[in-house]
Amino acid sequence: MPRSKPDIPKVRGRTLSDPLSAALLPPPDESPIERDLRVKAAIDAKKVSDSIDDMIRMERNERKKSKAEVNVLLLGQSESGKSTTLKQFQLLHSPSAFHAERIAWRAVIYLNLVRSIRRILDALAPESDILDDHDDADDNPDPAETASVIITSNGRPPSAILGTQVPNYESYRRRLEPLIELEERLIRLLSSPDEDEATRLGPSRPAWEQYANYYRANENTPPHPNGTTSGRPAPTIMIPQKKQTSSSSVMNSANGTSSKNKEIAVHTSTNWKKALSLGNRSKSPKSAHSGEIEGWWEDPDDPVHTLNACSPAMQELWRDPQVRKRLQEKRLRLEESSGFYLDEIPRITAKKYIPTDADVLKARLKTMGVVEHTFSIPSGSNRGVEWRIYDVGGSRNQRQAWAPYFDDVNAIIFLAPISVFDQARHILTYATQDPRVNRLEDSLLLWRSVVSNKLLANVNIVLFLNKCDLLQAKLEAGVRLNQHMISYGDRPNDYDSVSKYFRNKFGVIHQSYTPNKERELYIHFTSVTDTSRTSVIISSVRDIIIKGNLRNMRLV
C-alpha cells in the first residue's frame, strides 16, 4: 500500500540548477497522453520502490526477532554491586565457565585478605592517621578527589592520641611483615607482566609500613607523624587493552573501540585471569624427571606459603579484644567492607584452598573501563537471545565512559547500595565546600541523572536496592538512619520501614524526573552476593526486559 498520495515525483526543495530536478521536469512540449503515461510510470515506479522498502523493513524486523539481541547496562556508584551482579548472570548462564575461573580468583581473594590485615595494622599503629571511614578510598586516584585526613592542631590525629593502645602491636607487626611484600607481589601478579604502568598503587605507602621502616632504623624512637597519609585505595589494576573476544572483551573507556585515548583504564577478566595461571599447574602430572608439580601448593614461590605461615598471627590479631576495641574507636567496621574474609582465615590460607562460588562473589576487584560479556539465553519459543551485558566502572572518574553505551541499550539495571547511608566519601573539589559527601546521597543524585536522561527515555529500568543484608545488620546493630538522613524523622528504625522509605525515595525521583511518564519502574530489594535469591530476581528481570524489548520492537 503506498504510504502517500500518488502524484508526480516530488522535487520539492530542489532548484533548477540541480541536475536531478532538471531531469525530472516534464518536457516542455508534453501532450496530455504523454503526461498521463509519465505520471502512471512514476506511480508504478514508486509502488515498486515502496514495496522494496517494506520488504527491507520486514526482513530487518524478522532478523531482529530471530536473532533477538538485548543490550543491558549495569550502572551505579562504585562498590554498588555491578560486577557481582554480572558474576551472578555468569553463574546462572555459563556456570562451567564460571567454575573454571574460580581458581584465578585466588589472587584477588588473597589480596583482599592481606589488605584487611594491613588496614587493621594501620589502625593500630601508634601514629596512625588513617581515616575512620574505609570507603573514602573509593575513587582514588583522581586528581579531583583526594582523601582528606583529620589532623589536630599539633599535627596528630585525635584517635591516635586518645585511643586504646594495643600492647602486642609490635609483635603483630613483626610477625605479619611478610604480608607487606606479599601485597605488592600479588598486585604485580595480577597486573600484566609487560606493563610497567599496569598497576596503580595508592598515593603513599601505608602507615604501618612507614612505621616499620622507621622503627627498623631507629629502634626505640617513634617516627614523626608528619607525612603519613590515609590507607591506600582498593588495589586498582590497569590492564592493557587486548583484542576483543566474543565472550569477554574490553572496551576503551572513552569511545568503546580503540586505544587512541591514552587515558584508557582497561580492566578485563580475560587478561588478569591468564596472568595468574596458577591453576594450570594442578593439571600437570607429577613427574620427578621433568620437575613438574602436582599443584600450586608444591611451588615454593606460590603466595599461599606466606599466607599459610602468617595464618596464626592473622587469626590472633583478628580475635584480639583490644584490637577489636581499637577498631571500634576508629569506626572501622571491616565486617561491612568489600572483600571481607577475616572470619575464614584458616580456610582461605590453607595450602590447597580453592575458592568457592560464594568466595568469588565476595571478592572485590574494582572495575576500570567497560567490560562486556555476552550470553545466549533461551527465551520461550525463540532459539536464543543474545544478551550483551556491559559492566562499567562506577567511580566518579569512570562515569564519562557510560554515555556512549546509552545509544543502543535496551535495559538498565541500576544498583543502589542502601546500606551506605552512614558512610561518606571524602571529595575535595573546587566546587565542594564540604568534602564529605554521603554515599547514599551520591547514589540518589546519580539515579536522578540516569532516570532524567532523554536518551534513555524508552529504556527499561530495573532498580536493585542492594546490600539489604548489610542494611539489616546495620539497623540491628543500632545504627540510626535519622542521624544521617534528617528527613527520616521519627519513623521506626527497623528494616521494613527503612527499606520502604528508600523504595519510595527512589520511586519518587523516577516519577518526578522521567521524560517518559509511561515508563514502568521495576524495583527489587537485593543482596546480590546471595545466589539463590538473586537467581530468582535475575529470571524475573530477564522476562521483564524481553517483554519490554519486544514491545519496543513492535513500535519501530
- Tell me the Ramachandran region of residue 414: left when phi exceeds 0, alpha when psi lies from -120 to 50, beta otherwise: beta
Q: Which residues contact 415 (CB under 8 A, 6 or more apart)?
A: 74, 75, 76, 80, 81, 82, 85, 464, 466, 526, 528
**Which listed residue (71, 77, 80, 83) binds Mg ion by CB under 5 A?**
83
Q: Which is nearer to ligand GTP, 134 or 388 (CB)?
A: 134
Q: Grid coordinates standing for 388? A: 550483551
Is the dihedral angle over the CA atoms 513, 515, 518, 520 positive or is it negative? negative
| Residues in contact with 543: Cβ distance below 8 Å, sequence separation at least 6, in sequence order | none
Name the nearest CA neighbour of 278 among 351, 334, 204, 370: 351
Among residues 306, 281, 309, 317, the alpha carbon closest in space to that of 296 is found at 281
The residue range among 15-23, 80-88, 241-249, 426-434 that interacts with ligand GTP, by the rule CB under 6 A, is 80-88
213 is in an annotated binding site: no
Cα–chain-centroid distance for residue 289? 46
Give the residues across from 525 on adjacent strands.
465
Q: Is 467 annotated as belonging to a binding site?
A: yes
Q: Does 77 bind Mg ion (CB under 5 A)?
A: no
- 534 by Cβ neighbours in 10 Å (0-12 / 13-18 / 19+) ranks as buried
| C-beta atoms surrounding 547 within 10 Å | 12
DSSP class of 151: -
- What minimum distance in Å lies between the beta carbon of 82 and Mg ion? 5
Question: Site map for ligand GTP, 322-341, x if CB under 6 A?
Answer: ----------------xx--
Residue carrying C-alpha cell 530542489: 14
Q: Of Mg ion, ligand GTP, none, which one does residue 229 interact with (CB within 5 to 8 Å by kind)?
A: none
How many residues bind Mg ion (CB under 5 A)? The answer is: 3
Looking at 43-51, 183-191, 441-449, 464-472, which segment touches ligand GTP (CB under 6 A)? 464-472
- Give, as ranges, the residues between 84 and 123 that touch ligand GTP (CB under 6 A): 84
Helix (H) or strand (E) holding 44: helix 32-66
Give the DSSP H/E element, type plus range, for residue 317: helix 304-319
Partner that binds at residue 364, options Mg ion, ligand GTP, none, CB closer than 5 to 8 Å by kind: ligand GTP
* Binding partner of residue 84 among Mg ion, ligand GTP, none, CB cut-off 5 to 8 Å per kind: ligand GTP
Distance (Å, whole) CA 281 – CA 395: 36
Residue 230 binds ligand GTP, judged by CB under 6 A? no
Q: Measured from the CB of residue 417, what is the shortest distance to ligand GTP in angstroms?
A: 7
306 binds Mg ion (CB under 5 A): no
Among 46, 68, 71, 83, binds ligand GTP (CB under 6 A): 83
Query: By CB neighbour count within 10 A (0-12 exposed, 13-18 middle, 19+ buried), where does 197 fall?
Result: exposed
Site for Mg ion in 336-375 (CB under 5 A): 367
Does 231 engage in binding with ligand GTP (CB under 6 A)? Answer: no
- Please tell me whether 365 is known to bind a ligand: yes
Taking CB under 6 A as the rule, does residue 364 contact ligand GTP? yes
Q: Which is nearer to ligand GTP, 108 or 411 (CB)?
A: 108
Write b or e for each residue in 11-23: b if 16 or more Cβ atoms lie within 10 A of its Cβ, otherwise e. Answer: eeeeeeeeeeeee
Query: In the chain, how many H helices and how many E strands?
Result: 18, 11
Is 253 a residue that touches Mg ion (CB under 5 A)? no
Residue with grid cell 565457565, as numbered in its chain: 97
User: Which of these segments, 75-83, 102-110, 512-520, 542-550, binds ligand GTP (CB under 6 A)?
Assistant: 75-83
Choosing from 373, 527, 537, 541, the residue that interacts with ligand GTP (CB under 6 A) is 527
Determine whether the annotation assigns residue 468 to a binding site: yes
Stretch that binds ligand GTP, among 122-130, 150-158, 400-408, 461-469 (CB under 6 A): 461-469
The residue (of 163 and 393) whose beta carbon lies closer to Mg ion is 393
Per-residue binding string, ligand GTP, 385-414, x by CB under 6 A, is --------xxx-------------------
Where do contacts with ligand GTP occur on this chain (CB under 6 A)?
Answer: 76, 78-84, 338-339, 361-362, 364, 366-367, 393-395, 466-467, 469-470, 527-529
Positions at the binding site for GTP: 361-367, 466-469
Positions at the binding site for Mg(2+): 367
Where do contacts with Mg ion occur on this chain (CB under 5 A)?
Answer: 82-83, 367
